[in-house]
Amino acid sequence: MPLIRIRCPFEGSEISLSYVPGIEGKLITCPFCKQSAPFEKWVKGFPPPPPPPPPPSPEVGYVELLCTGQICQLKLGKNVVGLRSVSSHADIEIPRIIGPRLISRNHMVIEVNNESGNYVYDAYLCKSEVNPTFVGNVQLQANVRTRLHDGDIIYMPYELLKIHFQNADHDSTVFQH
């Protein structure tokens, strides 16, 4: 029996299963989110990979996902970081590649603000009920800002994020524009 790849309609996890005649009328349960849906609601096949991202703008900076090599542009204001899923509203989506779902869909925020002509970068958790996340050896807390520095590594479950300020002095906390 051929293997087919399908994607959960609730949270986007990808699974492989054996195609058997009559599967079209069956309910399929996602092994990750434990929700069930008729087979026809599951996404079959996959769209082509997205085009490579444009080079990061020198204006604010970017985040490098070290486990996947993905580059994500930062914008002024709140940049929500979370697990990629159909229902995610994250600006920076972490693809689910291995392991259990330990990153929330809205896990943390990297906030970039302009204070008197300088960009300042802070990180905090979206809510207290998420798995531990660290900047260096400092554990992030919900709604408690932790100042970021150029080159900081954010340790999330199954992913590492490196913060890059554009044209910043590597010892600097802020980026002047």
Residues 21 and 70 in one domain: no
What's the confidence (pLDDT) of residue 172? 40
CA distance 6 to 80: 27
Structure tokens at 116: 């008197």
* Amino acid identity for residue 5 in this structure: R
Cβ partners under 8 Å of residue 84, min gap 6 = 12, 90, 93, 94, 95, 96
Instruction: Tell me which residue of 85, 57, 89 sits closest to 73, measured CA to CA.
Output: 57
What's the confidence (pLDDT) of residue 74? 93
Residue pLDDT, tens place only, 78-110:
999 988 877 778 999 888 765 557 888 889 999
Three-state DSSP class for 25?
helix
Report if residue 55 sits inside a domain. no
Report if residue 52 sits inside a domain. no
Residues 76 and 143 in one domain: yes
Strand partners, 117: none
Report if residue 51 sits inside a domain. no
Report if residue 57 sits inside a domain. no
What's the confidence (pLDDT) of residue 120? 92
Residues 91 and 7 in one domain: no
Residues 140 and 96 in one domain: yes
Residues 34 and 73 in one domain: no
Residues 129 and 165 in one domain: yes
What's the confidence (pLDDT) of residue 103? 83
CA distance 27 to 39: 6
Q: Which stretches of the chain score pLDDT less than 50?
A: 56-58, 169-177
* 14-18/3-7 β-pairing: antiparallel
Report if residue 56 sits inside a domain. no
What's the confidence (pLDDT) of residue 111? 95
Report if residue 134 sits inside a domain. yes
What's the confidence (pLDDT) of residue 175? 39
- Structurally, the chain folds into a number of domains equal to 2
Residues 117 and 76 in one domain: yes
Domain extent at residue 94: 62-176
Residues 109 and 151 in one domain: yes
Report if residue 152 sits inside a domain. yes
In this prediction the pTM is: 0.62
CA distance 7 to 28: 11
What's the confidence (pLDDT) of residue 125? 94
What's the confidence (pLDDT) of residue 162? 94
Residues 70 and 145 in one domain: yes
Phi-psi region for residue 116, left (φ > 0), alpha (ψ -120 to 50) or beta? left
Consecutive H or E run containing 159? strand 159-164
